[in-house]
Structure 1
Amino acid sequence: MEPNATTNQDFNLYEKAENYTKTSLELLKLKTINSVADGVSSLASKIAVGVVVAFFTLFLNVGLSLWIGKELGEYYFGFFIMALFYLIVAIVLHKSHHRLIKTPIGNSIISSILKEK
């Protein structure tokens, strides 16, 4: 037999390696699609809940503003007080946004992508 001659066993090994590579790539594609779909669906549900909470907060704030304004004698006083409250909240969030917002959201996204099922 010649030293460079290929046998059926070599072709069989090559086919197995090719099939393994194709299967591995397909599995990687499916895992990526699963992770992306999970992340997008999680994000969509959080956005839907966020919209409902935003409307609730909006109407609650208008109601509180009107009630505080009525108690103080002028309706616009209630809106000024609520605006001052949200200014204070914004300052606190700005000072601690890494600890309160950025880190938890980043950790949530990373754990969602890397979770094993």
Structure 2
Amino acid sequence: METNATTSENLNIFEKAENYTRTSLELVKLRTVAASADVLSTLISKIAVFAVVAIFSMFLNVGLSLWIGSLLGAYYYGFFAMSFVYLIFAIVLYTNQHRWIKNPIGNMIISSLLNDKKNNSN
């Protein structure tokens, strides 16, 4: 009789372990879907905002180029002036890219991951 009781207990433990594994896998799937949906929705909203800002910036730059060109006497001078301004901006941005772009974005990603892990452990 003891062998049947032990076998029954082992089967019960095996079933519990199997149920735990299935539940854990389902939880991982749901967390992955939630994280993917969050990333995708954030990405789409940022792309939409970027597109609107890019169109605004393009029209603003064309307008400024035409205005500066009319002040200088030839429209193409305005476009040269605006391209020179962007060249200076690109040089400044390139020299400070680690301080202004890389480090803040890296810190934001790390803090986001740590906050996500902290929320999952609670």
C-alpha distance after superposition, 1:69-106 (max 9, x if no partner): 11111111111110000001111111122222233334
Q: Counterpart in 2 of 1:32?
A: 32
User: How many residues are paired up?
Assistant: 117
Unmatched segments (≥5 aa) in structure 1:
none
> Which stretch has the larger CA shift, 22-31 or 94-103?
94-103
Which SS does the other structure have where 1:7 is aligned?
helix
Over the aligned positions, Cα root-mean-square deviation in angstroms equals 2.4
Q: TM-score, normalised by structure 2?
A: 0.82
- For residues 112 and 53 of structure 1, the distance between their equivalents in structure 2, rounded to whole angstroms, comes to 28
After superposition, the Cα gap between the structure-2 partners of 1:31 and 1:75, relative to the gap in structure 1 and judged at 3 Å, is same
Unmatched segments (≥5 aa) in structure 2:
none
> Which stretch has the larger CA shift, 24-33 or 51-60?
24-33
- Percent identity over the alignment is 62
After superposition, the Cα gap between the structure-2 partners of 1:51 and 1:24, relative to the gap in structure 1 and judged at 3 Å, is same
Q: TM-score, normalised by structure 1?
A: 0.85
Q: Select the structure that is richer in helix.
A: 2
Conserved? CA contact 1:36–1:113, under 8 Å = no
Conserved? CA contact 1:38–1:112, under 8 Å = no
Counterpart residue type for residue 105 of structure 2: I
Counterpart residue type for residue 33 of structure 2: I
Conserved? CA contact 1:61–1:82, under 8 Å = yes
Q: Which has the higher contact order (CA 8 A, sep 6+)?
A: 1
